[in-house]
Chain A
Amino acid sequence: MSHEHERLVIIRHAPYSSNALREGLDVALVAAAFGQTVSLLFLGQGVLALLKEQAAGAPGQKATLPTIDMLEMYDIDQLLVPQSALDALNLQAAQLVDGATVVADDTLPELVQRHSYVMNF
């Protein structure tokens, strides 16, 4: 399978701590709306964006989960999480939203290499 002209957006920030997560997801959504194939890789704190028990409407701040739920409508169905990122947060895959896929850490270099556009947020 060719990944030419495909975009990988790497999300590394937790919900609410900053606007980095929101604005990173916005880039993914706009790219998908432009017809690009977009995959998301969640590293470190970014994994927290995928917890399915996140309540909507934390006081005064826009919730993240509705945006995560929206990704599928934009055909962004690759939500990748390395096993070590889960382990570091003492999380299980079952705690993540349905679309999330856990990948082995040793696949990361190849994953990053094969996309033509890679951006870190």
Chain B
Amino acid sequence: MEYGLLVMGAPYTSAAPHSALRFAKAVISRGHQVAGVFFYQEGIHNASSLMTPPQDELNMRDAWIALHHGHGVTLDVCIAAALRRGVMSEAEAKRHGQAHFNLDAPFELTGLGQLLTLQQRCDRLITFA
């Protein structure tokens, strides 16, 4: 089966990203696919390339990237939710006259429609918030 995950909690603020990541790994180890993760609300902070946790804590962004590289999981971030919270790609930073950016591949900024597409494409959608 194909699974989609909706993550709405921020790392180091909420347990949601940790639960989502552990769930994704278990989905894969049971022989299913995780088609994609959609980050919304406070979940958009998972994509920040500036997160710098202490060495004895998991770097959540790196963990998502490993999931992407290992299993082809797409990492989509709601553009409206991200921009208003100050998380953006180089292209968006330029467009909005910002001097810095903190989101890059494999995370992709996308619209909410992508969440609905993910839900329709997948056999299961599960929210972690």
Contacts and interface: CB of A to CB of B under 8 A. Distances in A.
B116 A20 contact: no
Contacts of A19: 41, 84
A26 B80 contact: yes
Contacts of A89: none
B39 interface: no
B38 to A, nearest CB: 11
B27 interface: no
Given A19-B41, A20-B41, A117-B119, A26 B112 contact: yes
Interface of B: 6, 40-41, 80-81, 84, 111-113, 115-116, 119, 125, 127, 129
Interface of A: 19-20, 23, 26-27, 30-31, 34, 36, 117, 119-120
19 contacts: A20-B41, A23-B40, A23-B41, A23-B81, A26-B80, A27-B112, A27-B115, A30-B111, A30-B112, A30-B113, A31-B116, A34-B113, A36-B116, A117-B119, A117-B125, A119-B6, A119-B127, A120-B127, A120-B129
